[in-house]
Structure 1
Amino acid sequence: MIRFARRLSLAVLAASLAGCASTSRIAPPPPSGDASWRMVAPPGTVRYQLAMGEVFSGATPFRRVKPAYPPGWLAICPPPQEVPALLIIDDQGAVAEVRVSGERQADASRHAFIDAVRAAARQWQFQPLSISRWAADADGNSHVVDSGTRPFSLTYVFRFECHAGQSSVSAAAAQP
């Protein structure tokens, strides 16, 4: 009976770890009531492939700074601007780089919004992405075999709006 219970617990552990390994979403949705950000996963986004017995944790923002609306453009009140930016996060959870596609071709007004995004996003901080490998011993006790942090990247959309001279800015991370 004890041997059966150990085998059953190993099977349950393996099934739960397999469920974790198949997950493709890294960042959770924003807390309820917080519509200030959404994450997007562009087509072709490469993801870490977890092997059987591997689980991940972290990779979630814990400090988000909203970009400031460019003051020179507030009086003009241009149409809403959306700036998608790829945040490259190092293995410690700091934003190491911010990439904005089309930046070189952008006009002066667009550059003001891109600069605001870059200044704010560089201040964001994330829980490091940790990947751990678990195994079970002969007695059915599970334990961490090895663990480490890895760099990752996420794409966010920053939206700037102006209505009657009043700004509204959101940094958004939409779910894949």
Structure 2
Amino acid sequence: MMTRALTLFVAATLLAGCVHTAQKQDAQPGIGSASYRTAEGTGLAHYKLAIGQIAMGATLEVHEPPVYPASVLARCPPQIELPARVIVGTQGNVDEVRMNAPDTQQPFAESVRAAVQHWRYTPLTITRWAADADGTSHPVDSEARPFSLDYVFTFHCEHGRTSVSSGPDATAR
């Protein structure tokens, strides 16, 4: 009887030791991704071109997406869509990024600003063309103009795993 009691005591002590030495593992931070798309139906005003004028450029050349903010990965909030207007100067550099982000989305807004400030566009150029007496067209003058484009930036986080959607019901993220 004493041997059995001693065995139970030793087993209980060992199990208790395991409980005290086991470390609680913190929840894994989420895995975040960021993407963007041009916004549709924004009602932006366009340059009015006269007869003989053409507009060229305003093409995005250098564009890395924003980085998911590391400061919010641990809490892994639901998907966030953040609209932004990008104002581009005559040289094709981003002059300003306009957003109306609530306080809870400020880390995402900062990430958008940090990335978009490095984007580069071909300048928007408006060229006026005319024809010679023999009908040959040639440019008369050209002017670079500032422009703006609207985008929607999407930030998505999943705890500890990534997912891929495909098929007819899949939505881009």
Alignment of 1:91-130 (within 5 A): 91-101=90-100, 103=101, 106-107=102-103, 109-130=104-125
Q: Which residue is 1:149 aligned to?
A: 144
**TM-fit CA distance, 1:165:** 3.9
Q: How big is each residue's C-alpha offset from its partner over 1:24-73, in whole Å with a ceiling of 9 and x where there is no partner?
A: xxxxxxxxxxxx54211444311111111111111011000211111121
Deviations 1:45-102 (A, max 9, x none): 111111111111110110002111111211211100111110000000000000002x
Amino acid at match of 2:38: M
Identity %: 49
Equivalents in 2 of 1:134, 1:111: separation in Å?
Answer: 46
- Tell me if structure 1 keeps the 8 A contact 2:128–2:140: yes
- Give the distance between the partners of 1:164 and 1:134, measured in 2 at CA: 57
1:85 aligns with 2:80: no
For 1:8, the equivalent position in structure 2 comes to none
Q: Distance in 1 between matches of 2:154 and 2:61?
A: 20
Structure 1: which 5+ residue stretches go unaligned? 1-35, 169-176
Aligned to 1:61: 60
TM-score for the superposition, normalised by structure 2 = 0.70
Which structure has the greater CA radius of gyration?
2
Tell me what 2:22 maps to. none
Question: Is the 1:74–1:165 Cα contact (8 Å) retained in structure 2?
Answer: no
C-alpha offsets along residues 10-32 of structure 1, whole Å, 9 cap, x if unaligned? xxxxxxxxxxxxxxxxxxxxxxx
Query: 1:1-176 residue pairs with structure 2 within 5 A?
Result: 36-101=35-100, 103=101, 106-107=102-103, 109-165=104-160
TM-score of the superposed pair, with normalisation by structure 1:
0.69
Structure 1 residue identity aligned to 2:47: Y
Query: Aligned letter for 2:78?
Result: P
Q: Which runs of 5+ in 2 are unaligned?
A: 1-34, 164-173
Distance 1:50 1:167, change over 3 A: farther
Q: Which stretch of the first structure deviates more once superposed, 142-151 or 157-166?
A: 157-166
TM-aligned CA distance change 1:166 to 1:112, over 3 Å: farther
